Amino acid sequence: MKTIDELLAEGVAGRRVFVRADLNVPLDGTTITDDGRIRAVAPTIARLAEAGARVVVASHLGRPKGAPDPAFSLAPAATRLGELLGADVAFASDTVGDSARATVAALTDGQVAVLENLRFNAGETSKDDAERGAFADRLAELADIYVGDGFGAVHRKHASVYDLPARLPHAAGALIATEVGVLKKLTEDVERPYAVVLGGAKVSDKLGVIDHLLDKADRILIGGGMMFTFLKAQGHEVGGSLLQEDQIPAVQGYLKRAEELGVEFVLPVDVLVADEFPDLKTKAPANPTAVAADAMPAGQMGLDIGPESAALYASKLADAATVFWNGPMGVFEHPDYAEGTRAVAQALVDSQGFSVVGGGDSAAAVRILGFDENAFGHISTGGGASLEYLEGKTLPGLAALED
């Protein structure tokens, strides 16, 4: 896989460099609420521009239905990128149409342009190879070189991620190189003790990771909505909590396998419960109650790990040499259910080991809760991509960058 350092050494001045970035940032209307992904890719774009390239940045945002939708416009991301670069960034109002061609043609050496949301074109995400390839052909007309640096999308077999690199000389950007290097630390020659913290809503989203890491991790800590499937698998009442009943047999199998391998599974000993899901808009006081994890009332739902669990989890992370964390411990968006997630984040900050926050809601949580990003070993820009890598899957976007 060619690196951006090698590409820059060859020279990019005057050449159109297509950077597949991940600018898929959360928006409140047109206001970006977390610009982490833009900040992560900005150094690659800046280096190319400083070397005299004519940089064409492309990304998806959200899940539009293959047609233009103002709610998913990348215009706010283009504006923020310009602020980070300290330079004007041109914006094309389409992906491969008249505006894109004119905007790219108008670039001079060292200038940057952002194309409109790639998913406004159905060819980007099409499962039909010919349709996807046809879109990639049109994108290729806008560039001379391809740089893949949108790690959050490399697990997708999409036109700009998988098909386009085959049509242009290509290299991996600095962000992808960093992300892959970090993930190798979690899968190859791992420093021990190795702790994995998994949360989030659905246990089905994490079973592949558990399966692949059971023979690598020393302990696995479970929180979030997925913890209730584990508690139910142990025969406990979970009330109205989130539950994937069809996954109980699989969970029971992993608990048995972990015991056989000597891997410690850490489940909550207490849970915060309430009568209903909290109002995340008004954030009105929810007044939760902490109950033992094996004594949940049938009429209530669990929404966070309890204070005893938070202390337990912190103790299980204190001596870890390597920690991977993906998924919040509770409904962290509400202050009454944020303490479990806060406790895990603080434990990673306090740890002397190498800590990795695995993107998605976990990355958003550490920022929303006010933690210094530099206090963690690495905050990934790709939750789904990180998980699939840790599951041992081949990621199309990485495979496409191999020579």
List the catalytic residues.
37, 202, 360, 384
Q: Are 159 and 18 in contact, with CB atoms under 8 Å apart?
A: no
Burial letters 256-292, b for 16+ CB under 10 A, else e: eebeeeebebbbbbbbbbbeeebeeeeeeebebeebe
Structure tokens at 89: 């960034």
Other residues' Cβ atoms within 10 Å of the Cβ of residue 99: 16
Q: Residue 367 and residue 245: Cα distance in Å, rounded?
A: 33
Q: Are 303 and 320 in contact, with CB atoms under 8 Å apart?
A: no
Comparing CA positions, the residue from 196, 352, 205 lying closest to residue 266 is 196
Per DSSP bridges, beta strands 264-266 and 270-274 are unpaired
Please report, to the nearest 10 degrees, the dihedral formed by the alpha carbons of residues 239, 202, 340, 325 taken in order.
160
Comparing CA positions, the residue from 152, 177, 197, 176 lying closest to residue 353 is 197
Return the sign of the alpha-carbon dihedral for residues 141, 143, 146, 152: negative
Q: Residue 20 and residue 35: Cα distance in Å, rounded?
A: 17
Helix (H, G, I), strand (E, B) or coil at 351: coil
Residues whose CB is less than 8 angstroms from the CB of residue 333 and which lie 6 or more positions away in sequence, other chains included? 280, 368
Helices 339-350 and 307-317, interaxial angle, to 10°? Answer: 20
Amino acid 281 reads K
In the block, residue with structure tokens 């993930």: 183
Residues whose CB is less than 8 angstroms from the CB of residue 321 and which lie 6 or more positions away in sequence, other chains included? 191, 192, 193, 194, 352, 353, 354
Cα Rg, the chain, nearest whole Å? 22
